[in-house]
Amino acid sequence: PEPRKPLISGNWKMHHNHFEAIQTVQKLAYRLTKDDYEAVDVSVHPPFTDLRSIQTLLQSEEIPVALGAQNCHWEEKGAFTGEVAPPMLAKLDVTYVIAGHSERRELFGETDDVVNQKVRAIVKSEMTPILCVGETLEEREAGGTEDKVSGQVRAGLAGLKAEQVGAMVIAYEPIWAIGTGRTATPDDAQATCALVRATVREVAGGDAAEAVRIQYGGSVKPGNAAELMAQPDIDGALVGGASLDADDFARIVQWR
């Protein structure tokens, strides 16, 4: 099988208006080199209101950073006030869409079923989902990490074909490590990412399991990226806080 190309994704959450977004991407592009882009896929996931500005910038400056979104609705259109449909994102050259981030699950009530509908809608619009999974601290301490994470993976992938699963991205993000400064140890992160891959093997077969890219997320910073990326089942990172600063984010992309 072909080696998996790592993907480093910056989830900006509800930060940076479109002016700040342009500045951040300009700075990032100034830092990153051709060698970086050859070795690593890079995506930025700004708020919806920034997407058009960033699309224009990436195109006009020929910057090989992929555009990403943080969320979407599962229908293609309709009476869903305040929502954004996958085809609208595809039209803006969005490549990756995050589905089921723990903040969406916890603060906005997204169930495994809703997350699965979003994943399928993203695939249908020919974009790549980044399906987020992860356990709470309580679940970890009660020994429930494996059940929680494998259950979220199974539910998230329901109804997809093996090739579709192989082409997507799964982000393992222990909730207790998100925005807390507390990172999973490289060994713990590797163990759960290996479990994610084993679950993919069960539901979609060996080819999909070898191809699917699995990111680790949770307080990834320039100082801890290398040891996480060295793990065999970790194929990149989903970065929150440290992606807001172009220098920090570039240093993560340049962990090698």
Residues 222-241 that bind ligand PEP (CB under 6 A): 238-241
User: Which stretch of DSSP H or E encloses residue 172?
Assistant: strand 169-172
Q: What is the DSSP string of 87-119?
A: HHHHHTTEEEEEES-HHHHHHS---HHHHHHHH
Q: Which of 127, 212, 220, 253 binds ligand PEP (CB under 6 A)?
A: 220
Written as one letter, the residue type at 169 is V
- Give the C-alpha separation, 145 to 51, whole Å: 35
Active site residue 101: yes
- Scanning the chain, the segments in alpha helix (DSSP H) are 18-31, 34-39, 51-60, 86-91, 102-107, 112-124, 137-141, 145-157, 162-166, 186-204, 206-211, 225-229, 246-253
CB of 162 to ligand PEP, least distance (A): 27
Q: Is 124 annotated as a binding residue?
A: no
If the CB atoms of residues 123 and 178 are measured against ligand PEP, the closer one turns out to be 178
Under the criterion CB under 6 A, does residue 8 sit at the interface with ligand PEP? no
| Residue closest to ligand PEP when measured from CB atoms | 240
Tell me the per-residue interface mask from 170 to 209 with ligand PEP, x by CB under 6 A, - otherwise: ---x----xx------------------------------
Please give the residue ranges that form the binding site for ligand PEP (CB under 6 A): 11, 173, 178-179, 217-220, 238-242
Give the active site residues.
101, 173
